[in-house]
Amino acid sequence: AFSERDINFLTTLAANVTAVIERAGLYEELQQQADQLARQVAERTAELQMERDRTLAILENAGEGIILLDAEDLLLYANPAFLQQTGYEESELTQRPAMIFISRETPQKIVREMIRTVRDGRQWSGELKNQRKDGSQYDVAVTVTPVLNEENEVAGYVAVQSDISRLKELERLKAQFISNISHDLRTPLTNIKTYISLLERGKPEKKPHYFQVLHQETDRLARLIEHLLDMSRLDAEFEIDPQVTTAVKQIWQKLQGDFTELAHQRDVTLYWDEPADSYLIMPRLQMAERHVEKILWQLLDNALAYTQPGGTVLVSVGMETKNDKDMIWFRIKDTGAGIAEADKPFIFDRFYRGELAREGNVPGTGLGLAIVQRIVDRYDGRIEWDSQPGQGTWFTVWLPAVWEAE
């Protein structure tokens, strides 16, 4: 039998054991909760990492320039597109102020408005003139969005910019084109109207001259409209039929017929450099006749237009084989005023008219060489040229050729 002392000991022991067991159960429960929390933290961390990687991938591959700034307008991050736009390395931009990118040519009114708007916590969008690391300038469309913290205070900014320099240039060329085309349309129409009036009331012996002028002006107007239509048609990917060929002799004789008299009227000596019957043993041009004509007609017309009376224009033709590929080349060389250095990078741009064309009042749309290049590129040909102010200009165009079986 247990004594009272034994009973008291066992009671105390049972109470302690019970407490230990309860604590062990509580620990196990806490451990389970800790494990569950750890799993949740790990899952959420993985989710955040995935979200971060996804966001970074978007930023890294975006076509627009994107930068992140802190509340003091210091740069924290720039994506590759922004670095490419500005010419900087990423290491050069950390903690640099965003204002280093804005050109002084941007009106200060616009800059102040942008700063005031975003610091008030509102989004701003507009156009700026920015500058690259090398000092060159470019136009951008920018959207700056403030990043707000939990207290609704500005904690930083995200800026997204697109380079719109090309669009601005196209707008400028469009405005210039409208101005040019208005003039070029108005001039022949005015002359036509004038000479119709002279026909009605002029002297009979003058009528042949009036008719000649009317023909010239209507031809000029027709060429202008044809240029506009050509450019519109060539903007579409026109089909090339490799079975369609054109004889060199056929083109050569047509050019002579079209330009010999015109050169005489302009008092320009036109030389045709053709080795005796050379084109009889040449391959045929692997091109549609109308496309060959447009190329050569434009180059030759330009040469005559920019050569002063008393000058000369030389037209030559030949054959060349490179990398087992036969090519026919045409070279047109004039003794005209040449192309100004400032104009040279732009002569194949649509609607661009050089200094001599503008100052010399030479009629045209600025589309001719753009049409030439478009056709040559489509046929995998090539153009080479050079010009020295005051010494003249030469163009050589290589066009695909093919030998046909007898």
Average pLDDT, the chain: 82
What domain range includes position 371? 238-406
Say what the pTM is: 0.54
Residue range 70-105, pLDDT digits in tens: 989 898 888 888 899 999 998 888 888 989 999 999
Same domain for 91 and 36: no
Same domain for 66 and 20: no
**Which of 60, 76, 106 is the C-terminal boundary of a domain?**
60
**Which of 144, 163, 182 is the C-terminal boundary of a domain?**
163
**Which of 138, 163, 188 is the C-terminal boundary of a domain?**
163
Number of domains in the chain: 4
Instruction: Look at 65-69, 167-171, 305-309, 351-355 and tell me which has the smallest mean pLDDT.
Output: 351-355
We report the CATH number of the domain holding residue 280 as 3.30.565.10
Same domain for 387 and 270: yes
Name the nearest CA neighbour of 139 among 113, 111, 105.
105
Same domain for 291 and 229: no
Same domain for 281 and 191: no
pLDDT for position 185: 77
We report the CATH number of the domain holding residue 211 as 1.10.287.130
Provide the edge-to-edge strand list for the sheet that holds 124-131. Answer: 75-78, 65-70, 154-163, 137-148, 124-131
Same domain for 374 and 270: yes
Q: CA 176 to CA 179: how far, in whole Å?
A: 5
We report the CATH number of the domain holding residue 75 as 3.30.450.20
Same domain for 185 and 333: no
Q: CA 319 to CA 399: how far, in whole Å?
A: 10
Same domain for 291 and 153: no
Question: What is the distance in angstroms between the CA of the first residue and the CA of the last residue of the chain?
Answer: 134
Residue range 134-170, pLDDT digits in tens: 999 999 999 999 988 888 888 889 888 889 888 888 8
Asked if 366 and 351 touch (Cβ cutoff 8 Å), the reply is: yes
Residue range 270-325, pLDDT digits in tens: 999 876 555 556 788 889 898 999 999 999 998 998 899 999 999 999 888 877 88
Same domain for 242 and 228: no
Same domain for 44 and 71: no
Same domain for 188 and 226: yes
Same domain for 275 and 244: yes
